[in-house]
Amino acid sequence: MPARKLWSFFHPSSVAVIGASESPDKLGHEILKNLVQGGFPGALYPINPKSERILGLTCFKNVKEIPDNVEMAVIIIPARFVPGAIRDCGEKGVKGVVIVTGGFSEAGPEGEALQKEAAAVAAEYGVRIIGPNCQGINNPYHPLCASWPLLTRKGRVAIISQSGTVGAAMMDWFSEEQLGVSSFVSLGNRADVDEIDLIEYFEEDPNTRVIAVYLEGVKDPVRFQNVLKTLTKPLVVLKSGRTPGGRVAAESHTKSLAGADAIYSSLFRRHGVYRADTIEEFYDLAKGLAYLKPPAGNRILFITTSGGSAILATDAAEQEGLNVSPLPPELAEQLKGVIPAHAIHANPLDLTGDANAKMFHEVIQRAHPHYDTLGIIFGDPIVDASQVVTANANELIIYLGGADVERAEKLKMHQMDIPVFPTPERAVRTLAQLIPPEMKAERAKHTFPVAKGRSQMGLYDSFKFLESRGFDCIFSRSADSPGKAVHLAHQLGFPVCLKIDSPDILHKSDCGGVRLNLQSARDVRSAYSEMTAQAHACYPDAKINGVIVSAMASPGLELILGMNRDPQFGPVVIFGLGGITVELFRDISMRLLPLDRKEALAMIGEIKAAPLLKGYRGRQKVDEEAIVDGLLKLAQIAEEHEDIVEIDLNPIFAYAEGIVVVDARILKA
């Protein structure tokens, strides 16, 4: 049983502190004091040749002089004396040493040699090492605080950290929030025990529900992958060295190679490891995984007295793929009489300032069967939050704006093992990580409301109109029969393209309404028949004017230029690259009117794909002036034609000189 190998570190019957000190500003004093004040239940032996007693405990000159067995030792003496101390420990039968002292591999070649020597001596005697250059270990369940600061609260999360400070920050936050930890281990230089040994140990530790690891690089990639394969407890990792600069810094810090960051992401995704992006998310995720019940699905109802906080929560939820689904009629019915008539009967459910604990309680009880999670947001200190919430239920508790009452209520809830989050966004993002991707909704898009009663201009008329406003459109003619289409194709020269012309069909390509690259009269004739038939089949009520026969545009950079009217702000001009950069990556820019040349130019430089306009990777630079002109023309149309509510020029092809409109949609009020 591999985990038992580390048992002596976390449950020693006796501990020697080699380098214990009488002086309160020394770590050798601090650690001994924390062991004593933390309530260590076994024998404690300060070792210091110059002292008789420290903190009331008899001091020994050497670990070998101790009359009884010593199971574990903490070493805080200058680096050069450490190998000797380990030898003494080995001879004494000590099972494990925690070396706090720095000045080893992190400090250059001499330190490196010293560390190798220490490891060799330890191996000789079968002594395990944690560290050197570490911040010690803490197991509040033994209890054993061989670390600093003194933290004694028992919790559910084991923290393993390659950085003392990052681990200490986590411990501090868990302590401040009175949630505690199941253990803390500072890895230091990993001369022997590493993150994999500890993950294996905590996998079997009954007090640990979640393992949280801060990592700069794994020591052994193969063992690491193997442990991930068999791990059953949730593992949260904060892995630094994500950027080239961070990676170089990580490699100098750990003096070891770090794999490419993207590989870690892929590995974590494959094995269900929760990857935190920031230290704050690291904390939130560990807390959420330890104390939240994973929801059965993505439906969430927000219940609150704070309208503002609930809107922020709704935004975060939709961005994370949760479903802020409307109140089911059945629930709405059940809530009548329970909540005030002037409350907002929707999701979020705003109970207003008239809310009290009883009302919250009744709403929560009725709502639970209808949702996977209830997001309960407290604000004003008007209700006793801790009286309202239900332990062990699917409730996500958020409390903000409540000042002292908030802090007191939060601690009460934490004592009930109910986690409280300080902002809607942090709460929702944490919850969202607990839901498998396949249960999530597609991330909500920014949409413009589509006004009712709009009518679409026919495609041929649209081209005519655009040409009258100075746009160059692909050479096109209208055909209302297959024969006419063929005739036009001959006039234009093959290949040609056919587009269905109907004011009632908004998305032509969704019903086979665009046929490109037709090479012959026969192709055109059959395309005409197929397209009109398919259009009639898809939209039985649509009026079909026929088709537009166009020349094939020579290949250019596909753009989208558009105009839309916002109900509050008025006309908006929109720019993006065509195709997937708009649809899948939502890479667009927009401007309100009035639009001038400078702002139009700024717009086209704002999209992420902007380098393509400048002639990316050997492509030709496109005519930015012509694009600017196009945007300004759209702005002018918006001003002069109040009846036109939407223009969608998609695609426009851009060339080194000029732009050509290839397809267009114009909607009128």
In angstroms, what is the minimal distance from the CB of 347 to its own copies? 8
Residues touching its own copies, count (CB under 8 A): 125
Map tokens 């704070």 to a residue.
Answer: 306
Among 307, 328, 495, 658, binds its own copies (CB under 8 A): 307
Closest CA to 557 of 594, 608, 492, 612: 612
The minimum distance between CB 124 and its own copies, in angstroms, equals 27
Q: How far is the CB of 582 from its own copies (least distance, A)?
A: 11
Site for its own copies in 550-569 (CB under 8 A): 566-569
Kindly tell me which of 307 and 328 has the beta carbon lying closer to its own copies.
307
- Which residue, 661, 212, 306, is CA-closest to 475? 661
Q: Which is nearer to its own copies, 282 or 471 (CB)?
A: 282
* Helix residue ranges per DSSP H, 294-452: 307-319, 329-335, 357-367, 385-388, 403-415, 424-433
Does residue 633 belong to the site contacting its own copies (CB under 8 A)? no
CB 544 within 8 A of CB 500: yes
- The tally of CA atoms less than 13 A away on the side-chain side of residue 408 is 8
Q: How far is the CB of 101 from its own copies (least distance, A)?
A: 9
Using CB under 8 A as the binding rule, whether residue 518 contacts its own copies is answered as: no
Q: Give 346: exposed, middle or buried? Use CB within 10 Å, 0-12, 13-18, 19+.
A: middle
- Which residues 251-290 are close enough to bind its own copies by CB under 8 A? 252-253, 257-263, 266-267, 269-270, 277-280
* Bridging pattern class, strands 373-378 and 300-304: parallel
Residues within window 336-375 making contact with its own copies, judged by CB under 8 A? 341-342, 344, 346-348, 350, 352-353
Q: CA–CA separation, 412 vs 422, rounded Å?
A: 15
Helix axes 307-319, 424-433, angle to 10 degrees: 30
Beta bridge partners of 654: 557, 659
**CA distance linking residue 429 with residue 434, whole number of Å:** 9
Q: Look up residue 264 and give its two tokens.
A: 């870690």
Decide if residue 380 touches its own copies (CB under 8 A). Answer: yes
The footprint of its own copies on residues 575-594 (CB under 8 A) is: 580-581, 583-585, 587-592
Q: 63-122: which residues touch its own copies (CB under 8 A)?
A: 102-103, 106-108, 111
Q: Considering the complex, what minimum distance in angstroms separates the CB of residue 72 from its own copies?
A: 22
Packed helices 279-291 and 164-176: angle between N→C axes, nearest 10 degrees = 50
Query: Judged by CB under 8 A, which stretch of 2-10, 164-172, 200-208, 410-418 contacts its own copies?
Result: 164-172
Interface pick for its own copies out of 417, 616, 639, 642 (rule CB under 8 A)? 616
Q: How far is the CB of 425 from its own copies (least distance, A)?
A: 4
For residue 558, the SS3 value is: strand
Footprint (CB under 8 A) of its own copies, residues 173-212 = 175
Minimum CB–partner distance for residue 606 and its own copies (Å): 8
**Among residues 67, 618, 640, 643, the one that binds its own copies under rule CB under 8 A:** 618
Q: Please, what is the minimum distance in Å from the beta carbon of residue 261 to its own copies? A: 6
493 binds its own copies (CB under 8 A): no
DSSP 510-528: GGT-EEEEE-SHHHHHHHH
Residues 460-489 binding its own copies (CB under 8 A) are none
